[in-house]
Amino acid sequence: MEVSPVSWVILVVSGILEAVWATALGKSEGFTKLWPSIIFGVSLLASMAGLAYAMREISTGTSYAVWVGIGASLTVAYAMFTGEEPFSIVKLLLILGLVGCVVGLKLVGHE
């Protein structure tokens, strides 16, 4: 079955939203801060809904790996960019390797 490009776009956006909710969760300080808590909830629901939609056409393993890869790499990159986490070349190379693996899953997929 041919996978619609829309499913891939939704999956990528959902991965981006995963980074949003992960970052907001940290900034909510245990849900004691209102706006980060609201951003967390909204982005979590949207991210999960998008992942579920994409999984109608893209296999579970590939969908989840792409979703987590995008979310994890953007979360770490954002933390390094803002100074919340120290920057290092090794971390940058590992993030790039993760992104390469995510792209590879898309390229070799037979869906």
Find, among 32, 80, 10, 105, the residue nearest to 72 by Cα. 80
pLDDT for the residue numbered 110: 59
Q: Residue 106 — pLDDT band, cuts 50, 70, 90?
A: confident
Give the start-to-end residue ranges of the domains of the chain: 5-108
Q: What is the pLDDT of residue 109?
A: 67
The pLDDT score that the predictor gives to residue 22 is: 98
| Mean pLDDT within 83-109 | 91
Q: What is the pLDDT of residue 51?
A: 98
Rounded CA-CA distance 74/95 in Å is 8
Which is more confident, 4 or 106?
Answer: 4
Find out whether 109 and 65 touch, Cβ atoms under 8 Å: no
**Residue 111 pLDDT more than 80?**
no
- CA atoms of 87 and 99, how far apart (whole Å): 17
- pLDDT per residue as tens digits for the range 9-64: 999 999 999 999 999 999 999 999 999 999 999 999 999 999 999 999 999 999 99
